[in-house]
Copies of this chain bind each other. A is one copy, B any other.
């Protein structure tokens, strides 16, 4: 196993005897299916914009990952479920051969959803066999790849939720995916500021536990003293920005942001609609009036940056964010809450670093000094996207709790809005 893979794996393999890994495998896999349970087969084949993949495709692709990187190389005598799937469900791995064009994922009525579930079952049976029978020699590499595959599937669980939201929001009938429960209506506290000391710090993954290659190597950075806001910006605060004519004032925007605002005629975050003079938004529980206490969500980097400029502040760098989060235990409104929607901030101190909304940083997504991608085709997982994207941190209401950590680097294009993405401000000190 490559040393990068080794670093990414941490001590997960050692503590997880095979049995533990088998159980975790079962849990993660069944969660994906549970998330799709409320969907019709017809929902599962929709691709409502190029960024969205049909839920059926997600379900198959994560299985393809196990088939391609585990069953084919490590399970002797393995026969693939369907030879077309190697192409159909390859996302972007050039090293794994040809791939179905991304923009045509929504044209796949076949294989039908049922067949995809049979594919999953086929994979699960053979994965069980592999985990049971593989000898000690390749075990450590196998275990690493299983864990990577499970994190991969968890990452797609979040995409499943954001893609389902986009699919449902594209339906004029505006279906309801889940019951949101009662809505919080008590005010959020005033935005406060917390200071952090600069100097030489270390960021990047360390210690026990899995990480992606893009979180390595841990390395030194120099920071000046800085402050972080106690919580993300709320819808109420964002409405003030909108009310100050922000979507019509070029001086608040990056040049590309301003171009995007005009070309796409943005006037509010994604999913917002003005009905009878009042803002509403689509949620996974259907249309709702905008709740001013919740964190603003579904904003692009351009909007986050413009808000910060309007507020006289800035976005944090990813190093600053990681300093702020590294001693905070993971918790909050994550996927397990089942709400799939941000909730108003509660409590004191710096809250909501994890969950609710991914927080745009000011940092372009680039390699850490000394970065080495995983060897072979798995090296395409993260490294080749290190251009033109921006780092987001902290996870959202759609992220599984055991998938997020202080060093986790998510990344999207600055115009992307369909993720649960929000705004936390930062500032200099003094």
A binding-site residues for B, Cβ under 8 Å: 40-46, 48, 84, 87-88, 92, 94-95, 100, 104, 106-113, 167, 170-173, 175, 200, 219-222, 224, 250-251, 253-258, 301-302, 305, 317, 362-364, 366-367, 369-370, 380, 384-388, 414, 428
Q: A46-B106, A46-B109, A257-B387 are in contact. List 13 more A-B contacts (CB 8 A).
A: A40-B41, A43-B109, A87-B172, A92-B255, A107-B167, A108-B171, A219-B224, A220-B224, A221-B222, A224-B369, A251-B380, A256-B387, A364-B364
How far apart are the CA atoms of A362 and B363 in the complex, in Å? 14
Pick the contact of A414: B44, B167, B221, B387 (CB < 8 A).
B387
* Complex contacts, A222 vs chain B, CB 8 Å: 200, 220-222
How far apart are the CA atoms of A112 and B251 in the complex, in Å? 33
Q: List 8 A-B contacts (CB under 8 A).
A: A42-B44, A42-B113, A92-B255, A110-B171, A224-B370, A258-B384, A301-B387, A364-B366
Q: Choose among A108, A167, A254, A384 the residue with the greatest number of B CB atoms under 10 Å from its CB.
A: A384
* Complex contacts, A95 vs chain B, CB 8 Å: 251
How far apart are the CA atoms of A170 and B100 in the complex, in Å? 11
* Complex contacts, A40 vs chain B, CB 8 Å: 41, 109-110, 112
How far apart are the CA atoms of A178 and B267 in the complex, in Å? 47
Asked if A384 contacts B253 (CB within 8 A), the reply is yes
Pick the contact of A385: B44, B171, B200, B255 (CB < 8 A).
B255
Nearest CB in chain B to that of A320: its residue: B369
Asked if A107 contacts B42 (CB within 8 A), the reply is no
Top 7 nearest A-B pairs (CB, nearest first) are A364-B364, A94-B250, A222-B222, A42-B109, A43-B109, A255-B384, A110-B171
* Complex contacts, A367 vs chain B, CB 8 Å: 362
* Complex contacts, A219 vs chain B, CB 8 Å: 224
Q: Choose among A92, A109, A219 the residue with the greatest number of B CB atoms under 10 Å from its CB.
A: A109
| Minimum C-beta distance from A404 to chain B (A) | 24
How far apart are the CA atoms of A258 and B113 in the complex, in Å? 32
| Minimum C-beta distance from A204 to chain B (A) | 13
How far apart are the CA atoms of A200 and B175 in the complex, in Å? 56
How far apart are the CA atoms of A118 and B260 in the complex, in Å? 38
How far apart are the CA atoms of A253 and B383 in the complex, in Å? 10
With A222-B220, A253-B384, A255-B384 as contacts: A107 and B370 at CB distance below 8 Å: no
How far apart are the CA atoms of A259 and B257 in the complex, in Å? 23
Asked if A112 contacts B42 (CB within 8 A), the reply is yes
| Minimum C-beta distance from A140 to chain B (A) | 25
Pick the contact of A110: B42, B364, B366 (CB < 8 A).
B42
Nearest CB in chain B to that of A365: its residue: B364
* Complex contacts, A84 vs chain B, CB 8 Å: 172-173
Asked if A100 contacts B388 (CB within 8 A), the reply is no
| Minimum C-beta distance from A237 to chain B (A) | 23
